[in-house]
C-alpha cells in the first residue's frame, strides 16, 4: 500500500483535529532560534469559537524575538501511551503577534478557564484585573496553513480481519 494512502487512512477528520486541540493540555510550539536551530517550547493554549489557536507570553521572551525575525512555526499536540493509542496533530504556518490589550486579557482569561478551572462567570473581572500586566505580554495567533494528523487506532481498525 503506498505511504500516502496509508497516511490518509489514519488521518483525523477536521472535526477530530478540532476536538483533539480543544482537549489537549500542552502544545509544543517550535520557532526558529537566532542561530537557525529549532526552538521548541511547551505552551498553554486555547482554541476560540472560530477554531483559531491562541497563546500568551511575555513580549521580551525568546519565542517573541524568534517570531519577530521569522513568523514561521510548527506545533505539536499528541496523546497516547501505547502505539495503537497514539493520536496527534502537527500544525504549521505563521504566527501573528498581537499587542492589543483587550485580546491579551481575553486570551489570559480563557487560559484560566481551561487550565485553572476559573468559573466562566468571572471572565470579565479577570480580564479587567489583568489589564495592568497585559502591556508586557503578547498574544500569539497561530495562522495555520497545514495540518498533518494521525490516529493509530484507525490503522489497527483498517488492518483488522473482517469476520
The predicted model scores a pTM of 0.89
pLDDT digits (tens, 9 = 90+) for 67-110: 999 999 999 999 999 999 999 999 999 999 999 999 999 999 99
Q: How many CA atoms lie within 13 A of 56 on its CB side?
A: 21
* 152 close to 85: Cβ distance less than 8 angstroms: yes
Q: What is the pLDDT of residue 8?
A: 83
Q: What is the pLDDT of residue 2?
A: 47
Beta strands in the chain (DSSP E): 27-32, 38-43, 46-47, 53-58, 72-79, 87-98, 137-151
Better-scored residue on pLDDT, 163 or 75: 75
Q: Is residue 3 over pLDDT 70?
A: no
Where does residue 23 fall: left (phi above 0), alpha (psi -120 to 50 degrees), or beta otherwise?
alpha
pLDDT, mean of residues 24-28:
97
For residue 42, give Cα distances in angstroms to 28, 39, 77, 126, 157: 4, 10, 10, 24, 32
| Domain 3-152: top CATH class | mainly beta
Q: Is residue 111 over pLDDT 90?
A: yes
Amino acid at each position: 500500500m503506498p505511504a500516502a494512502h496509508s497516511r490518509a487512512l489514519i488521518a483525523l477528520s477536521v472535526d477530530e483535529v478540532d476536538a483533539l486541540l480543544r482537549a489537549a493540555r500542552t502544545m509544543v510550539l517550535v520557532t526558529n532560534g537566532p542561530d537557525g536551530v529549532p526552538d521548541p517550547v511547551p505552551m498553554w493554549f486555547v482554541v476560540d469559537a472560530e477554531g483559531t489557536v491562541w497563546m500568551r507570553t511575555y513580549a521580551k521572551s525568546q519565542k517573541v524575538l524568534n517570531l519577530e525575525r521569522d513568523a514561521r512555526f510548527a506545533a505539536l499536540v499528541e496523546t497516547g501511551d501505547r502505539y495503537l493509542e497514539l493520536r496527534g496533530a502537527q500544525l504549521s504556518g505563521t504566527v501573528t503577534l498581537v499587542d492589543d490589550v483587550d485580546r491579551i486579557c481575553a486570551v489570559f482569561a480563557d487560559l484560566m478557564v481551561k487550565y485553572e478551572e476559573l468559573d466562566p462567570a468571572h471572565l470579565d473581572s479577570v480580564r479587567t484585573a489583568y489589564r495592568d500586566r497585559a502591556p508586557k505580554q503578547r498574544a500569539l495567533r497561530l495562522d495555520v496553513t497545514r495540518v498533518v494528523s494521525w490516529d493509530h487506532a484507525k490503522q489497527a481498525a483498517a488492518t483488522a480481519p473482517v469476520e
